[in-house]
């Protein structure tokens, strides 16, 4: 790996942001501490370059780095352990990122997780080619100017996220980290997979609008529906994608009923993480992983901005669609018919009132203000008349999200607007 060339390329993107950058290699070994102090005073970012090895320079770079970026070729295999033992703060606090380099036509020699575990890395970031989108994304991440998008759960109301993403893309707003809970994670996963607006629209319509995946009802033992249709659609649209191989860093949250906490999914099979985060208790059967019973992330952390804040130190855009104003219809629960009476009148394709009851019960404790203060831009589309299970209200929800985000971007005057402007200029120059 040509570290100097990689450093020069990324430094150009850093300088385009108006930052002062210094690149220092092994030629600085033996320099006094005042030399490095002066470098930090005169520059915004100092890149210390070193190959792996038991050398004084490598040890010095580990001790003095705020964060360690380990560059590795995807067509190679790691030695285990990869990094020598070192008591540096970056190692102690796992401030290590794996930057996996990809070249056209080369096949991965091993699973990405093998590299991640060997490096004991907190994050995996992908770098395809040399200049371009990935390099600019890495530069933003290094500079603390990356943009994270957090999408809440909210059933059919989460369709609004699709309009939000379209508005952000039209404004040339970069999306560097994405995550969410429940249906918000479903949409965020599409962004992380690299779906454009047309593909996002086609796939979500097919999976949720054209027919209801929650329609394979049965007499409940652990859930109102079997879940086979949901499993099939997750397999169809996300296949066997691994979270650590996605174009963008991604997370989903589920609720671990075994431990009584929320669980963050940031590696492993994507469709399994999605199956866990949308398993609304009583409706979908729980997802069981390593003897842990996992259900919908909305139960404990429906708007996981706190997880995004731990994931990166840049800006955060949050979209919260969880609070539906209309609530339940009281008439549905006055002298309700039995199962056979309901089925004779409504058939098997209509959800009985217990479905709405369970959805509201699972999400009624959501604090609408929780974590909102951690966002740089926050929108909460009202979507009057659209309930959690109104799966046919796709177009109206998408339009509401689109309009609200366009207005929020027009009104915003903070640091995020500078990032958007810089990204637009870089896109035009490219």
Residue of higher predicted confidence among 82 and 400 = 400
386-395 pLDDT, tens digit per residue, is 888 788 999 9
Residue of higher predicted confidence among 83 and 16 = 16
Give me the residues paired with residue 287 across strands.
294
Q: Which of 182, 254, 289, 417 is catalytic?
A: 182
With both helix axes pointing from N to C terminus, report the angle between 415-429 and 3-16 in degrees, rounded to the nearest 10. 120
- Beta strand 147-151 with 123-128 is unpaired
Confidence of residue 245 (pLDDT cuts 50, 70, 90): very high
Percent of the chain with pLDDT over 70: 88
Does CATH number 3.40.50.300 belong to domain 147-420?
Answer: no
Spatial separation of the C-alpha atoms in residues 299 and 313, rounded to whole Å: 26
216-235 pLDDT, tens digit per residue, is 666 566 666 777 888 999 99
Q: Tell me where in the chain the CATH 3.40.50 domain(s) lie.
A: 3-143
User: Is 182 labeled as catalytic in the residue annotation?
Assistant: yes
CATH architecture of the domain formed by 3-143 = 3-Layer(aba) Sandwich (3.40)
Give the residue among 331, 10, 351, 344 at the shortest CA–CA distance from 155.
351
**According to the model, what pLDDT value does residue 345 have?**
75
**According to the model, what pLDDT value does residue 90 have?**
63
- For the segment 9-31, the average pLDDT, to the nearest whole number, is 94
- For the segment 354-380, the average pLDDT, to the nearest whole number, is 76
**According to the model, what pLDDT value does residue 59 have?**
86
* Across 23-37, 48-62, 137-151, 329-343, least confident range: 329-343
User: Is 417 labeled as catalytic in the residue annotation?
Assistant: no
**Are the CB atoms for 366 and 302 separated by under 8 Å?**
yes
| Helix (H) or strand (E) run with residue 178 in it | strand 177-181
Q: Which of 176, 296, 320, 404 is catalytic?
A: 296
pTM over 0.85: yes
| Helix (H) or strand (E) run with residue 201 in it | helix 197-204
Residue of higher predicted confidence among 324 and 402 = 402
Q: Tell me where in the chain the CATH 3.40.1090.10 domain(s) lie.
A: 147-420
The structure tokens 């705020």 sit at: 66
317-327 pLDDT, tens digit per residue, is 999 998 654 55
Residue of higher predicted confidence among 83 and 98 = 98
**According to the model, what pLDDT value does residue 190 have?**
98
Sequence-ordered alpha helix ranges (H) in 2-119: 3-16, 33-42, 56-64, 89-92, 112-119
- For the segment 368-382, the average pLDDT, to the nearest whole number, is 86
**According to the model, what pLDDT value does residue 325 have?**
47
């Amino acid at each position: 790996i040509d570290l100097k060339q990689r450093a020069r390329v990324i430094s150009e993107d850093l300088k385009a942001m108006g930052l002062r950058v210094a690149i220092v290699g092994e030629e600085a070994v033996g320099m006094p501490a005042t030399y490095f102090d002066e470098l930090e005073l005169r520059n915004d970012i100092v890149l210390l370059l070193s190959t792996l090895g038991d050398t004084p320079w490598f040890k010095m770079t580990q001790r003095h780095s705020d964060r360690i970026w380990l560059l590795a070729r995807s067509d190679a295999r790691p030695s285990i352990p990869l990094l020598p033992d070192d008591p540096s703060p970056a190692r102690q606090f796992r401030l290590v990122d794996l930057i996996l380099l990809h070249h056209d036509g080369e096949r991965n020699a091993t699973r990405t997780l093998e590299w991640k575990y060997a490096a004991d890395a907190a994050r995996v970031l992908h770098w395809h080619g040399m200049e371009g989108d990935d390099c600019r994304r890495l530069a933003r991440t290094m500079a603390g100017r990356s943009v994270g998008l957090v999408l809440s759960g909210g059933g059919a109301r989460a369709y609004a996220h699709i309009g939000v993403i379209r508005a952000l893309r039209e404004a040339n707003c970069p999306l560097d980290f994405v995550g969410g809970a429940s249906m918000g994670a479903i949409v965020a996963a599409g962004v992380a997979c690299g779906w454009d607006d047309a593909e996002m629209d086609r796939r979500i319509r097919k999976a949720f609008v054209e027919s209801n995946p929650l329609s394979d009802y049965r007499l409940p033992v652990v859930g109102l529906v079997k879940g086979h249709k949901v499993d099939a659609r997750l397999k169809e649209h996300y296949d066997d994608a691994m979270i650590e191989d996605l174009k963008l860093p991604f997370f989903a949250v589920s609720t671990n009923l075994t431990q009584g906490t929320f669980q963050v999914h940031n590696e492993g099979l994507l469709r399994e993480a999605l199956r866990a985060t949308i398993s609304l208790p009583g409706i979908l059967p729980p997802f069981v992983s390593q003897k842990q019973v996992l259900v919908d992330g909305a139960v404990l952390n429906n708007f996981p901005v706190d997880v995004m804040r731990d994931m990166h130190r840049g800006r955060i855009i949050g979209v919260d669609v969880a609070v539906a104003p209309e609530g339940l219809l009281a008439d549905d629960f006055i002298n309700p018919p039995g199962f056979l009476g309901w089925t004779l009148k409504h058939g098997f394709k209509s959800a009985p009132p217990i479905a709405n009851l369970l959805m509201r019960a699972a999400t009624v404790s959501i604090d609408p203000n929780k974590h909102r203060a951690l966002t740089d831009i926050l929108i909460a589309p009202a979507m009057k008349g659209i309930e959690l299970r109104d799966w046919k209200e796709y177009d109206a929800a998408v339009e509401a999200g689109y309009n609200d985000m366009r207005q929020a971007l027009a009104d915003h005057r903070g640091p995020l607007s500078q990032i958007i402007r810089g990204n637009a200029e870089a896109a035009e120059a490219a």
